[in-house]
Structure 1
Amino acid sequence: MTNKRLRSNRFLPEYVSMFKDRHGKERLRFRRKGYPSQYFTAPLGTEAFREEYHRFNSPEAASQAVEDAHSARLIPGSIGDLLRRYFAVPERLGPSDVTQTKVRQILERFAEGREGRPVKGVSFEHIDAIIAKARVKTVDAKGRKVGGHEAARKLRKELRRFFAFARKLGWIAINPVDDSQPVKVSPSERSTGFYTWTEDDIAAYRARWPLGTKQRLAMELMLWTDQRKVDAIHLGRQHVRQGKFAIRQTKTGKLLTLPIAPPLAAAIAAMPASNALCFIVTEWGKPFSVKGFGGWFREQCDAAGLDKCTAHGLRKATMRRMAELEMPNKTMKSVSGHTKDDEVARYTQAANQERLADSAIRQLVEWEKSNPLPRLDASAS
C-alpha cells in the first residue's frame, strides 16, 4: 500500500501528494513548509488544478500563513490583537498610502514590546508616561533622530484614534487618551519647520545654476508648482494638458490643474531633448526617489552657498510670496492643494511682516485722506 502511494506520487507536481480518504476516494493535498496545507478540488491535469497549484504555492500564500500564525499567537483583547484589527482596514490610518505608512510606523513603535498587554488595562497614567518618553529626543538603532514635541503630539493623536476603535469594539468603556495630559508646546519649543527661501536665496541659486541645467529646472519646478517633492519630481510632458499641469496629489488624492508659469516653461524649454517620462531624472536617466531627490537637491543648494535651503523650503517660499501679496487663503489653497486654513497658516508665518505693515499703514493713510476727520470748533465750546 505504501509503495503504491509512493509510486503514484512520483508523477505529481512538487509538494503534492495523493492519498485515499476514509471513503476510499483519491484526494490530492498540497504540503510545503511555511505554507498552509490545502486540498485540491480540481482533477489532476486540468487548467483549474494548475491554477489552484500556483495559488497554493504563491508568495502571497506564504505571507498569509505567517500572518495566520502570528494572529494565532496573539492574545485576544491585547494591544497586538487590536493593532491587527485596526490595520485590517487601511483607510482607518489615513486617505493616502503616504499617510497610512507614517501612521502604521507610529503605532507599530508604540505596540513594540506591548503586544501581549490587555487593552482594558491601559490607563491615562500609562499614556502620560508613554507620551512623556516620546517627547525626549533620541537616536534610534539606524542613527535617525526620533522623538520631540511634534512626535509626541502626533503619537497622542493616533493613540486617541486607536483606543477609540477599541471602545467601538466594546473592549473598553472609556478612552484612556481622553484623560491624558495634552501635549503643550511653548513658543520657545515650537519648531518653525523647514527654512523658507528668501528672494535673495532664489536669486543666488539662479546665479549659480543657469537655464539649461537640471539643477535650475528642479528649483523652478518646485517653486512654480508649489507641490510636495513626491509629486513635483514625477511631473513630465504627459501631465501637460492644454498648456497646464494636471497633478494628482499623492498625499491627498486631490486633482489640481495649474498653469505653467513662464519662468518654469523657459527652464523646461532650455533642457536638452529627452524621451524620459519625468522632467527631472537621475544621471542614469531614471526617475528620482523622494529621498534620493531630497539629498541630491541639498547638494546643489550647498554648491550655491545656501546651506539652509531645501526642496520643501521652496514650497514654503511660494506660500510666503502669495501671503505677501495678500492673497486670500482660498486662492493659496487652489495652488498648494491644502484643505484647511490652519495648514496654510503654518506656511505663511514667514510672510514679510514689514511689507504687510507698510501696506496696511499706507491704506490707512489713504483712507483718512479721503475721509477727513471733523475739526473741533473752538468757539462752539
Structure 2
Amino acid sequence: MFDTRKDGKAIAPNIARLVEPFAVHTDGHATATPEELAEVHRNHGMRSKSLLCVAIMMFRVSDVSQLGPQHRRRDMFKLRLFKNCNRNPHDIEIALHPIIEAVLAMHKVTDLTYIATDFGRPFSIKSLGNRISDWFCRAGLGHLTAHSVRKGLAADVAHNRQHARGDVRLARWKDLKIYTKNADHARLAGRRSHESTGTASVRNCWR
C-alpha cells in the first residue's frame, strides 16, 4: 500500500508527469535582413543606443556587454572573447568597418562599455539580451533577437565568398559552412532557373 497523505494532507498527483515529451521542430533564431536593420534605424534614430548596439553585434551578446573604448586600437577591436574564456581563451583582432566607425563617432562614451544602462553601469549578459529584444519589439521586429543580427551578417558573408575566410577567422564562426551551403544552394537554384528560362526562350523562337 502507498501513502496517500503526507503531514496530514492529501498527496495531489502531478498530472504534468503523465504527458509524454514531444519534439518541436524549429528553425532557430530568425535571420536579420538589411531591410529589417534599416527599420531599426528609422524607428530609433542614428544616435540611439539601440543602433549603436546593432552596429557592434558582430560579437556575441556576452562580448558586446563588456566591449568598450579600452578594446579599441585605432581602427581595430582587440579583445578576449567571453565564450570559453576560462577553458579555451581566444584573443581576436577585428578591423572596424567604416560604418561602425561613423556610428561610434556619433556617441560620446563616458563609461567603460559602449552599451551602458541608464545609470551608467554595464549590462549583464542576460539583461542586455532582453533589452535588445525590447528594442526590436519597439521597431515592430519582435521576431528578431541579438543572435539574429549575427546570423544575418554570417549569411551576408557567405554570399560574398571572397571575404568569408577572413571573417570566419576574426569572428570565430565555426559553423559558417551552414550559411555557405545555403548560399551555394541559392546561387545554384538561380543559375538553374536562368538556364531553364533561356532554354524555353530558344524553343519558343523555333516554334
Distance 1:283 1:238 in 2: 21
8 Å Cα contact 1:254-1:337 kept in structure 2: no
The structure-2 alpha-carbon separation of the partners of 1:347 and 1:270, relative to structure 1 and needing over 3 Å to count, comes to same
**For structure 2, which runs of at least 5 residues remain unmatched after alignment?**
1-19, 196-207
Task: Determine which of 160, 173, 179 is the counterpart of 1:325.
Answer: 160
8 Å Cα contact 1:195-1:309 kept in structure 2: yes
Partner of 2:95: 259
Distance 2:112 2:164 in 1: 33
- Aligned pair 1:240/2:72, yes or no? yes
The structure-2 alpha-carbon separation of the partners of 1:269 and 1:242, relative to structure 1 and needing over 3 Å to count, comes to closer
- Aligned pair 1:211/2:46, yes or no? yes
Matches within 5 A, 1:170-319: 189=25, 191-222=26-57, 226-252=58-84, 253-271=89-107, 273-319=108-154
Report the AA paired with residue 158 of structure 2.
Answer: A
Distance 1:349 1:195 in 2: 17
**For structure 1, which runs of at least 5 residues remain unmatched after alignment?**
1-134, 138-147, 150-188, 365-381
- Scaled by the length of structure 2, the TM-score of the pair is 0.72
Deviation string 1:339-362 (CA, Å, 9 cap, x unpaired) is x4xx22345566485456447888
Distance 1:291 1:261 in 2: 27
Deviation string 1:61-108 (CA, Å, 9 cap, x unpaired) is xxxxxxxxxxxxxxxxxxxxxxxxxxxxxxxxxxxxxxxxxxxxxxxx
SS at match of 2:113: coil
SS at match of 1:282: coil
Distance 1:216 1:260 in 2: 16
Please state how far the C-alpha of 1:250 moved relative to its aligned partner: 1.3
Please state how far the C-alpha of 1:238 moved relative to its aligned partner: 0.4
Task: Determine which of 163, 176, 183 is the counterpart of 1:344.
Answer: 176
**For the aligned residues, what is the CA RMSD?**
2.7
Sequence identity (%): 26
8 Å Cα contact 2:158-2:176 kept in structure 1: no
